[in-house]
Structure formats: structure tokens, C-alpha cells
Chains A and B, each alone.
Chain A
Amino acid sequence: MSATALYGFVAHGIVFGAFIMLLPLGDRRRMLAFAAIPVALATGIASFMHGFAGTPSLTLLALAVWQLISIKPAPLTCRPALILLAFAIPFYAMALGLGPLDPYASGYQPLPLLAASLPLAALLWWRRLDNWLLILALALAGYASGIFANLFDVLFDPLLVLVALTVVIRHHARRVPNDG
């Protein structure tokens, strides 16, 4: 068993626990969410998620851990979710074969991408978005660990994009006036 396999398996267990945190389970929600992690690992839920979704990104894992342990709302609010969707949807479309360019390939030799992350980090720091700056640092440290071959895989993944889509839909649903 490789470190990559172990990471992906355990991370999906944690992501499953974070999903339980989103359910309306009352005061015991956090306890049930933590209890769901070993259940997911032992019953095959994490294995199925790992087989279906691949290795989760460190960004998704960080947000899942945040969801589980913090009393503050996770930093994936509507604006960062929209930014992620605006980047990820055309990225996936091109990577899956729409058009001649495969942006994913650049993640295997990511020195230019790492250089591009410097002004992004400066912007996050200037805007005092320390949480996102720390998540970006964690993701890059994860790439340095050797668990991931492609830099894009530490930054985002389809489950994270699905979460972002849910955040955006919920945000706009709340803004629709109740006509009842």
C-alpha cells in the first residue's frame, strides 16, 4: 500500500465526516460527524469514494477538517466558490478533450505555476485572506511531499467543485424572496 493510497482513503473518510456535519442533526451533529469517519473507513464508504472520485485535493481535505473542528464558518463562501467554478469548469472541459489544449499537463512540470502562485499569495495576504493563504501553503507542502504527481491535484478536485457549486446555489437560493 502506497502513501498516496493511504492518504486518499483516509482523506475520503474525513470528507465523509464533514458531509455529515452539513446534515441537520441537531446538537449531536459534530459527535456524529466524527463517528462517521471510522464508519466510512470500515464499511467501504471511503473505499468507494476513493475509487469513484480519485485522490481528494488538500484544499478539499483542509475545508473538511475546518468543517469538523471549527466553530467558524468555512472560508468557502460564495465569492471564492464562484472563482473556483469559473476556473475549474473550463479547465475540466479542456482536460477532457474539448479543444486542443490540455491545461492539466502543465501541472506535471509546475515551476511556472509555482511562480504564478507568488502574486496570488501576495494578493491573498494584501486582502488579509490568511485562511486561503494557509490552505494554499498546505497544498504546496502536500505537493512537495511527493504524494501527488500533478500540482493541480493538490489544489482542487471534482468533489470540491461540487461543494463550490452547492455553496453558490444555496447562496442564491437564500436571496430568492419567499413568496408564501
Chain B
Amino acid sequence: MTLPRWLPPLLFLLAVAAAAWRAPAPAIPEFSLPPSAATNRTPASFATAMLPTAAASAHAATLAELPDGRLAAAWFAGTREGAADVAVWFATLDAGVWSTPQAIATREGTAEATLAYVRKIGNPVLYAEGDRLHLWFVSVAIGGWAGSALNHSVSGDGGRKWTPPFRLQTSPFLNISTLIRAPPLPLADGGLGLPAYHEFIAKQGEWLRFSADGRIIDKVRMAHGRRTLQPSVAALDGRHALAILRDGGPAPGRIRAAKSDDGGRQWTETDALPLPNPNASVAMLRLRGGRLLIAGNGASNRNELLLWISDDAGKTWRPAPTVESVADASAEFSYPALLQTRDGQIHLAYTWRRQGIKHAVFNEAWLDGEEQ
């Protein structure tokens, strides 16, 4: 059968018109910042508690505040990192008591929803957006974490029920090597900017921009270095943001940094911060008063969990009180997650000796060294 000569170009023109209609043409991005608020100077407070145990090995906690004010945490746990029984666990803190952890993402459930083989799952990130609670987590079909793909799920009822996970298409080569560790930032157009990273061949931070309806509409490399990963981002105003990144080179390293001056459209590598980083995850939070807070490890190992504060948008840093410090170099207090809740309390969740997740809650008075 021979087609009329005019038919293929006509079909092509119809298809290209439909594709152009579908193609996003987003506005220039701008960060959305909560208004700065004066901090209430309450007496210094600092308290810690272990989250309930979900499995023998736990790692990579993430925090979010639910609309009703409860604190939510998620982390991955199983017999060991990368094991087939690892699940993403979820618990909430209500009136000072953590709920029993519930598995909200499993290897089997992810494979069933995506109709794709999954060998292991890992790093979760929670983010509360109005009544919606987002969960992103990574999954791997073959190989190590460098082969990760990104999955997304949403809860509309505070984490009880979740939509089936959807695998995001973020890489052209087998859709591998997009990982996450830190929460997204809200954008002025209703979308989100999610700090991500790439590990296959080169290690580098990435910035995924989502539209208000959840589509990926841009992907930007944060820095052109080949040894940075796990970015954590704080917006300084509508256009400026600072990203800190794990130094993926051999220890002792320093916390790497990148900045954006145009709402996340472009990121440029800046000088490393004068803060140590032993190739370990770091977290950064912009406090309500505008100060920046970083949580990370000491120079050589993960046996110290430290805090630093900047009063000048990241130009200079000073140490805050130490959260954990032991002489045993093999001890691990790592992968911090930071969140400031609406009541002004600052929450820190971190991996505690790989045996569980520890939660610390403190206020700015404690950060400033005031006596409890």
C-alpha cells in the first residue's frame, strides 16, 4: 500500500502542533520564601530521643511538619543497607510520643506500581506542601546506588495512605543515576525545585524543577566538579540561593558550595566552605530569622555530629554546640536532616550508629550557646 504523498507531512505537522501545545514554557523561576519572623527568645532547650526501631539497620532520615503540627519522619531500614527487605518507614511525633513506624514504600510495592523490576530501595525525602505530603525515594534495578532512579508518591491524609509510586524519567541512559537526599524548595509559580545528584561516571549536584502540576520542566547541573553530591539548598531571597554539597573526594574534605543568582536556572560552583566534610551528607536550613544552619560531620570520620551557624547569608560560619562526639572513630552519627517547625523549634534527625534514627529538638537560644 502506498500512502498519498501529502499524508506523512500532514500527520507530522499535526503531531508537532500537539507536541508544541504540550511543551511547557515556564516563567522565569523565583524562590518562594516564608516571611522572616523575629524569633521568640525562650530559654535554651535541647532534648534527644531515639525513634522506634523498625529494623536492624536504619539510615537516611528526612523530616516534615504536617498541617496539624505533628512532626513526620521517614527513613530506610532493613537487615542492612541495600538488602531486599529494606523499606521506607514513616512515623509521626504527637504530644512527645513517636508512633509505631509504618512501611510506606517497599521494594515489592514499588515494582508492582511501576511494572519494573526493583532490587533495592533507599534514600527517602519528605516534603509537606499544604495538605499534600510528598515522598520521593530512590530505587535500583541493577548495580549499586549509582544506578538509582527516582520515585514519587503523595499522601493526602498525613501519611496514612499513599499513591502508588511513580518512577520519574530524569536520565536518558537507562534512566539511572538520579538520587536525592534533601528536601525541595517552593517556587513562586507553585512548583518545586528539588536538589538531586548524579553518581554514575561523574558525581555532581543537580536541580530538578517541577511545575505546579508535578511535571519535571527543567534539570540543571549545580556544579561542574566531578566529586560533589547530595546538595542541600537554602534560598536567600527570591533569586539567590546557596547550595552546600558533600565532598565526594577522599577525606579530609570540605563542604562544597554552589550558588544561584537567578532562581535556580543556573548554578555556579563557589569556593568550598571553611567547614570539614569527610565525604558525608550535610544538611542546611534557613532559620525563620534568616540565619543559616548547617549540620554535618567532623574532619575525618562520622563520629562527631556538628552544627554551624551563619549570620551573613553564608559568608562566614561559626560553630554551634556539638550534638554528638565520641572517641571511637568507627562510630557513626550521620546523614542529618533539619527542619524548623512553625512553633520555632528546630528538629534534627540523624543516623545513630546505623542502629536507629535519633531525633534532637532544640531552639535558637541553645544554638547561641545559652545555658539550659
A residues within 8 Å of B by Cβ?
1-2, 4-6, 8-9, 44, 46-48, 50-55, 91-92, 95-98, 100, 102, 104-105, 107-111, 114, 117-118, 121-122, 125, 130, 133-134, 136-141, 143-146, 148-153, 157-158
Q: Of the candidates B15, B117, B218, which one forms a contact with A137 in the assembled complex, judged by CB atoms under 8 Å apart?
A: B15
Instruction: Give Cα A114 to B16, complex, Å.
Output: 7
Q: A50 contacts B115, CB within 8 Å?
A: yes
Residue B33, interface by CB 8 Å: no
Q: Are B202 and A96 in contact (CB under 8 A)?
A: yes
Q: Take A51-B118, A96-B177, A97-B226 as given contacts and tell me if A137 and B12 are in contact as well, using a CB distance cutoff of 8 Å.
A: yes
Which residues of chain A come closer than 8 Å to B142, judged between CB atoms?
51-52
Bound CA–CA A145/B21 (angstroms): 10
A95 touches B174 (CB 8 A): no
With A96-B201, A125-B8 as contacts: A108 and B216 at CB distance below 8 Å: yes
Q: Decide if B358 is an interface residue (CB 8 Å cutoff).
A: no
Report B-chain residues with C-beta under 8 Å of the C-beta of A50. 114-117
Tell me if B38 is interfacial: C-beta within 8 Å of chain A.
no
Q: What is the bound-complex CA distance between A8 and B167, given in angstroms?
A: 11
Which stretch, B22-30, B42-50, B181-189, touches the partner chain A?
Answer: B22-30
Check A111 against B20 for contact (C-beta < 8 Å). yes
Tell me the interface secondary structure of chain A in the complex.
Answer: helix
Q: Contacts A52-B141, A134-B8 known; A140 to B18 CB distance under 8 Å?
A: yes
Partner of B115, one of A47, A97, A98, A153: A47
Task: Report whether B149 and A54 are in contact in the complex, using a CB–CB cutoff of 8 Å.
Answer: yes
Tell me how far the C-beta of A71 lies from the nearest C-beta in chain B, rounded to whole angstroms.
12
Which of A47, A48, A139, A153 has most B Cβ within 10 Å? A47
Question: Are A150 and B116 in touch, CB under 8 angstroms?
Answer: no
A51 in contact with B172 (CB, 8 Å): no
Given A133-B8, A133-B12, A153-B169, 9 extra CB contacts under 8 A:
A6-B115, A51-B119, A54-B174, A92-B173, A97-B198, A109-B217, A109-B218, A110-B23, A139-B15
In the complex, what residues of A have CB within 8 A of residue B275's CB?
A: none
Interface residues, chain B, with chain A CB atoms under 8 Å away: 3, 8-9, 11-12, 14-16, 18-26, 111-119, 141-142, 149, 164, 166-169, 171-177, 198, 200-202, 204, 215-221, 224, 226
Please tell me if the beta carbons of B218 and A105 are within 8 angstroms of each other in the complex.
yes
B116-A108 in contact (CB<8A): no
Whether the pair A109, B26 counts as a contact (CB closer than 8 A) is: yes
**Among the listed B24, B169, B171, B174, which residue makes an inter-chain contact with A109, where contact means beta carbons less than 8 Å apart?**
B24
CB <8 Å contact, A111 and B171? no
Chain A's nearest CB lies how many Å from the CB of B119? 8
Assess the A108–B16 pair: CB atoms within 8 A: no
Is the Cβ of B219 less than 8 Å from the Cβ of A105? yes
Contact A47 B117 (CB under 8 A): yes
CA distance A158 to B142 in the complex (A): 15
Pairwise interchain contact B116-A5, C-beta atoms closer than 8 A: yes
Task: Report chain A residues within 8 Å CB of B25.
Answer: 109, 111
Q: Which of A91, A104, A141 has the most CB of B within 10 A?
A: A141
Instruction: Report yes or no: A130 in contact with B3, Cβ–Cβ below 8 A.
Output: yes
CA distance A61 to B147 in the complex (A): 24
Q: How far is the CA of A92 from the CA of B177 in the complex (A)?
A: 13
**Nearest 8 pairs of A and B residues by beta carbon:** A97-B202, A51-B117, A54-B175, A51-B141, A144-B18, A9-B115, A140-B15, A51-B116
Most chain B CB within 10 A, of A2, A97, A111, A117, is at A97
- B370 CB, min distance to chain A CBs, angstroms: 46
Collect the chain A residues with CB atoms within 8 Å of residue B226's CB. Answer: 97
Q: Are B141 and A137 in contact (CB under 8 A)?
A: no
Chain B residues with Cβ below 8 Å from A91 are: 172
**A52-B117, A144-B15 as given contacts; A109 in contact with B220, CB under 8 Å:** no
- A47–B116 touching, CB < 8 Å: yes
Whether B9 pairs with A125 at a CB distance below 8 angstroms is yes
Question: What is the minimal beta-carbon distance from B269 to any residue of chain A, in angstroms?
Answer: 11
Q: Which residues of B contact A8 (CB under 8 A)?
A: 115-116
The answer to whether residues A114 and B19 also contact, given A98-B202, A104-B219 and a CB cut-off of 8 A, is yes
Q: Which of chain A's residues has its CB closest to B112's CB?
A: A1
Minimum CB distance partner of A110 in chain B: B23
Q: A130 contacts B217, CB within 8 Å?
A: no
Contacts of B21 in A (CB 8 A): 144
Q: A51-B141, A92-B173 in contact; A121/B24 too (CB < 8 A)?
A: no
* A108 CB to nearest chain B CB (Å): 5
Give 12 CB contacts A-B under 8 Å. Answer: A1-B164, A5-B113, A5-B166, A51-B114, A51-B141, A55-B175, A96-B173, A97-B200, A111-B20, A121-B9, A136-B15, A157-B172
A51 and B169 contacting across the interface, CB-CB below 8 Å: no
Residues in A neighbouring B201, C-beta threshold 8 A: 96-98
Q: How far is the CA of A122 from the CA of B166 in the complex (A)?
A: 37
Closest A residue to B119 using CB positions: A51
Chain A residues, CB < 8 A from B177: 96
The answer to whether A2 and B166 have CB atoms under 8 Å apart is yes
* B22 engages A108 (CB within 8 Å): no
